[in-house]
Amino acid sequence: MLKVYNTLTRKLEEFHPIHEKENRVYMFVCGPTVYDSPHVGHARSYVAYDVIAKYLRYKGWSLFYVQNITDIDDKIIRRAQETGKTWKEIAREYEEEYHRAMKRLFVDSVNLYARATEHIPEIIDQIKRLMEKGYAYETEDGVYFDITKFPEYGKLSGQRLEDLMAGARVEVNENKRHPYDFALWKKAKPGEPTWESPWGPGRPGWHIEDTAISERYLGQQYDLHGGGMDLIFPHHECEIAQMEAISGKKPFVRYWLHNGFLEVNGEKMSKSLKNFWTIEDVLKKVRPEALRYFLLSTHYRSPINFSDENLEQAQKAWEGLAKTVRKLKKLAKDGKEGEPREQVVEALEDIRKRWEDAMDDDFNTPKALAVLHDWATLVNREVVESGLKEEAGMALEILEKWDTVLTLFRSILESDGGVSEELVEGLMRIIITVRQKLREQKLYEISDWIRAELGNLGIQLNDRGKETTWEMT
Ligand SMILES: [Zn+2]
């Protein structure tokens, strides 16, 4: 039985979706604000929910998983002003980079990505209903949600509205009635992108985009909502207020899931501390599977410590497992004929069960990875030793099923033994690094020769400052 830790009740609960009889599960996860390159904090969060989504499908649920893309907000506007680009150019550019990074990390479980700016009618419609019901009011600079009309505000983060109000700082925005009232609609300021609305031109607040999108695709109540712990308050609190005020139905979301932070060498990751890692930076050092393995080696609710050392360890652990998988794959094809031995069949069945128990325990991936290592030990000690084709086939089948969730060995499992895209990528990375070192030592003749030879093979190198990328021409 799958158990899920629910932030709303602060308990581990048995998982029973709203449409249990129809076998359907609906999930929403807060997507990125696309104003910069995706970093390892994003990887942490989205790999975690990718595995959660895939495990729900593994258990037989028909899951519909939606993620929003925040493609308009202060940071995007600021970035546009700084670079001389339009908000749309910035948003689309970084959204594309986000999708590229997710694809490399094998994050492919999301059914629908929904952009905020493509749901303005739904957003306006929700604000209108909040106004009609008396939960929202208009001011000179926007439309706000009146939190005193929703006494349960604070229930997700375990705070009481009175305490929040009492502890509030002196109000800076004189337009608002209460300090914790939040913007549903922001009226246009000079130079900002705008959309038409009953309250004049402007743009949506951040919290309303999620409920507008989720109401459209998942309904007024659904099963799972995920995001980083930093989103519990006020973001998710505001979502609850908006949707429960509109629908009158509780709870808006049955299970609230929150992932822990990512720290770098024990410190918060930030650009000013110069310990900032984009996903691309990391993937120059290790393969995507190793990063995935590293992220899954900590439980999704716990903080994770990112460091070169931990990353290298993960790469080593992954390589060890990968070796076993390759051997096993070969054996399953060319192994010896013969009946599988009963003790091996039993041991495999026991391991399979333990893996599911681990995942049923609030998606405990570190435990599941430990079981994966037990599996590898058994395979090496028994199956490789016996060389029996049928035993190898059974062990491989278990791994293939697990890998629909973990997605750590897809490149090996799907490879036909020929040259893979992965291998080419890896070799190109080596060539480019060697060429960079040559250039640093001013050995231009040989570095130009490399460029020319690659050109003959139809591979073009593009040097942009210190970065070199490649493409097939
Ligand atoms: Zn959100």
pLDDT at 88: 97
Residue from 405, 354, 359 nearest 109 by CA: 405
What is the full per-residue pLDDT of the chain (473 aa) written as tens digits? 999 999 999 999 999 999 999 999 999 999 999 999 999 999 999 999 999 999 999 999 999 999 999 999 999 999 999 999 999 999 999 999 999 999 999 999 999 999 999 999 999 999 999 999 999 999 999 999 999 999 999 999 999 988 888 877 655 677 889 989 999 999 999 989 999 999 999 999 999 999 999 999 999 999 999 999 999 999 999 999 999 999 999 999 999 999 999 999 888 887 777 888 999 999 989 999 999 999 999 999 999 999 999 999 999 999 999 999 999 999 999 999 999 999 999 999 999 999 999 999 999 999 999 999 999 999 999 999 999 999 999 999 999 999 999 999 998 999 877 777 777 888 998 999 999 999 999 999 999 999 988 988 889 999 888 788 898 87
Query: Could you give the 3-state DSSP secondary structure of residue 364?
Result: coil
Match domain 3-259 to its CATH number in 2.60.40.10, 3.30.70.360, 3.40.50.620, 3.40.50.11740: 3.40.50.620
- The pTM (predicted TM-score) of the whole model is 0.90
Q: Are 65 and 121 in contact (CB under 8 A)?
A: no
Q: Which position has the token pair 């031109």?
A: 201
How far apart are the CA of 301 and the centre of ligand 1, in A? 18
pLDDT at 274: 82
Count of beta carbons in the 10 Å neighbourhood of residue 302: 11
- CB-facing half-sphere around the CA of 397: CA atoms within 13 A: 9
What is the H or E stretch that residue 336 is in? none
Read off the amino acid at residue 315: Q
Query: Could you give the 3-state DSSP secondary structure of residue 118?
Result: helix
As a whole number of angstroms, the distance between CA 373 and CA 350 comes to 14
pLDDT at 172: 63
What is the H or E stretch that residue 196 is in? none
How far apart are the CA of 260 and the centre of ligand 1, in A? 16
Q: Are 314 and 293 in contact (CB under 8 A)?
A: yes
How far apart are the CA of 175 and the centre of ligand 1, in A? 25
- How far from each other are the two terminal CA atoms of the chain, in whole angstroms? 52
Query: Could you give the 3-state DSSP secondary structure of residue 31?
Result: coil
Alpha helices in 149-276 (DSSP H): 161-167, 206-218, 237-247
Domain 267-413: assigned CATH number = 1.20.120.640
Q: Which residues surround ligand 1, an ion (CB under 5 A)?
A: 30, 210
Q: Which position has the token pair 């995001």?
A: 227
pLDDT at 265: 87
Does 198 sit behind a cis peptide bond, omega within 30 degrees of 0 on the bond before it? no
How far apart are the CA of 442 and the centre of ligand 1, in A? 49
How far apart are the CA of 183 and the centre of ligand 1, in A? 14
How far apart are the CA of 239 and the centre of ligand 1, in A? 8
Domain ranges of the chain: 3-259, 267-413, 421-472
Q: Which position has the token pair 């720290």?
A: 263
Give the pairing type, strands 136-138 and 142-145. Answer: antiparallel
CA angle (415 as vertex; 413, 416 as ends), nearest 5: 120
